[in-house]
Each structure stands twice: as C-alpha cells, then as structure tokens.
Amino acid sequence: MAHRWTNTLSDTDVTPEAAFLNRRQMIAGVAAGVGLSLTARSAQAETEAEALTPNSWDDITTYNNYYEFGTDKGDPARNARTLTVSPWSVTIDGLVDRPGDYAFDEIMAKMTIEERLYRFRCVEAWSMVVPWNGFELADLLDLAGVQSEAKYVAFETVLRPDEMPGVRYPVLDWPYVEGLRLDEALHPLTIMATGIYGRDIPNQNGAPLRLVVPWKYGFKSIKSVVRITLTDKEPPTSWNKANAREYGFYSNVNPEVDHPRWSQATERQIGGGLFSPRVPTLMFNGYADEVAGLYAGMDLKKNF
C-alpha cells in the first residue's frame, strides 16, 4: 500500500473554499501540499509551505488547457459541459493480476480521499497553486495487482468526438496518451484527483478522474482517464509524438533546461494581476527533496 500522510483526511473533512483561502486555517493541510508528513518537515520546508496560497476557483476552472475542447484557455470552460462523466469506468490492463473495467463508484468506495495543496507548473511558463482532492495512484494500482515485469504505466484520455469539438482538428494524434515510469507512478506525491476545493472536479479540469504529478509540467497530468496499462516498455505520449524535440518523456520541471522557444527559468503566476512580476521556477517545481532521488545519476538535460 502507498505511504500514508499523518494528516490524511476523509472526503467529509474537506476544508471549505473560504477557509482554504485563509492561510491561518490552511496549516493542517499544508504538509500534504509539499509532500512531507507533519513529523518530518524541516523548519525551512514548513515556512515555504505556509507561504502557498491556492488560486481561486475561477482561476483554476477558467484558465486551463484541454485541447479536446479547444485550444484557447477559456475554451474548456465554455465547451466541456458536453462531456458525460457518469457513468464512468477505467480499464486497467497489461501486466496486472486483476485486469478489467473498474467502475468509478467502485474505485471511490475503496480509496482514501485526501486533500493535497500542490503547485501546478505549465510548460508554457505559467503556474498556479491548486487544492486537489484525490487518492494516491499507488492504491488504485494495488487494486489491479502490479506484476513484477511492469516498468511503466500508460494512461489514455476518453475520446468522444460527438462531445469533444476540439478533436475535429489534428492538433494532436487523438486520443491523448501519457505515461510514467513505475517508480514515478508509485511515488506518494502522485495522485488521481477527483475534486478541487472539496467539490467534484469540473469537466474542464479533467472530470471525473485525472492524474496529478506535481513535479512535472502540467501536460503530464492527463485528464479524464479511461485506461491505465501496465507495461514493460516506455509508452508513447501525445506531446512527445507531436514534437519530440520540444517535449520529452520525463518533462520534469527544470529551470535549467529551456523549452526550445522560451526560457523555463521563471514563471508567471496566474491570479497575480496583469503586471505581476515573474518569479523563479523551482527545480522539480519545489519538490526536489521528495523526488530528486528518482533520477539519481541521470542526465536531466538529455532525459528532459
């Protein structure tokens, strides 16, 4: 089973949005946001965590990328209402002991829902702080039983042309696919999000179930997942297929490795106003203490 944070919450304990925005009332949930237990945080990490202030509901739900519903930032909020999210199931197959179609309600009944406050960094050099609700991906994989030969986890987004106007255009090779190395998938920071601010996750943000990997660029956190496949080979990923020179398989946030068309050294914080100053981007999006060991000995410029 996945590691449990000392401040694990049930879905009935989710902090209301108004309270979440009050920093004094955020302290209990903030440890999960930086990926540290309450008993293990250093003073520096605690100070950094308490400085995180989540973006508003409107910021998070009206400024995002979901190209199946259009390529402008506001398109998903306008168009994603057409997506049917109930009933929903996720096919888990490949190198697992118990392959099959897992109903969303069945999954939720078996998962421990937690509140996680995470930084979110887009490859386009903008960022947010998002209060997710969800469960560790490792626990979902436990349901299916990962076999010893498995080395990677592949993900697939739902494809419904009649509900997704953006797929009429060959922006990408649909359906959208993504992948992680198995140790990345099993890391306790990696979650499957089902909500924001204690509410069901909106369609435009990837309802009803999306991946969240906070140390990677946002496009790795695939939305509206309908298939998870355990495999022994590195799976194809949509943006890497579209342009391997610009989008590597790992896509870890790294201020020292620029995108070929722009710098990744700084970022624009959404919600800070039109003329807010850019801020330095943190290695692994601020989660280096937790995840840098996954890449020990790797050339992060080659394996970008």
Give tens-digit pLDDT for 248-275.
999 999 999 999 999 999 999 999 877 7
Domain presence at residue 266:
no
Domain presence at residue 252:
no
Q: Is 222 annotated as a binding residue?
A: yes
Q: Which of 66, 68, 80 is nearest to 203 (CA)?
A: 80
Specify whether the CB–CB gap between 203 and 223 falls below 8 A.
Answer: no
Distances (CA, A) of 132 to 166, 209, 226, 246: 26, 11, 20, 28
Distance of alpha carbon 69 from alpha carbon 51, whole angstroms: 34
| % of the chain beyond a pLDDT of 70 | 83
Domain presence at residue 195:
yes
Domain presence at residue 273:
no
Domain count, the chain: 1
Q: Is 223 annotated as a binding residue?
A: yes
Q: Is 68 annotated as a binding residue?
A: yes
Tens-digit pLDDT profile for residues 199-216 = 999 999 999 999 999 999
Distance of alpha carbon 163 from alpha carbon 82, whole angstroms: 5
Q: Is 157 annotated as a binding residue?
A: yes
Q: How far apart are the first and last CA of the chain?
A: 29
Q: Where in the sequence is the domain holding 133, given as residue range(s)?
A: 17-244
Per-residue model confidence (pLDDT) at position 137? 98
Q: Is 285 annotated as a binding residue?
A: no
pTM of structure:
0.87
Specify whether the CB–CB gap between 80 and 204 falls below 8 A.
Answer: yes
Domain presence at residue 216:
yes
Q: 157 phi and psi, to 5 degrees?
A: -85, 150
Q: Is 203 annotated as a binding residue?
A: no
Contacts of 11 (CB under 8 A, 6+ apart): 113, 133, 195, 198
State both tokens at 204: 């435009």
CATH code (residue 151): 3.90.420.10
Q: Which of 256, 249, 246 is nearest to 220 (CA)?
A: 249
Domain presence at residue 301:
no
Domain presence at residue 289:
no
Angle at 23 between CA 22 and CA 27, to 5 degrees: 120
Q: Is 221 annotated as a binding residue?
A: yes
- Cite the beta strand spans of the chain per DSSP E: 89-94, 100-103, 114-121, 126-136, 152-157, 177-181, 191-196, 199-200, 210-212, 225-231, 266-269, 279-280
Tens-digit pLDDT profile for residues 156-176 = 999 999 999 999 999 999 999
Distance of alpha carbon 302 from alpha carbon 196, whole angstroms: 35
Specify whether the CB–CB gap between 292 and 216 falls below 8 A.
Answer: no
Domain presence at residue 94:
yes
In DSSP terms, which residues pair with 262 in a beta bridge? 259
Tens-digit pLDDT profile for residues 103-157 = 999 999 999 999 999 999 999 999 999 999 999 999 999 999 999 999 999 999 9
Q: Is 196 annotated as a binding residue?
A: no
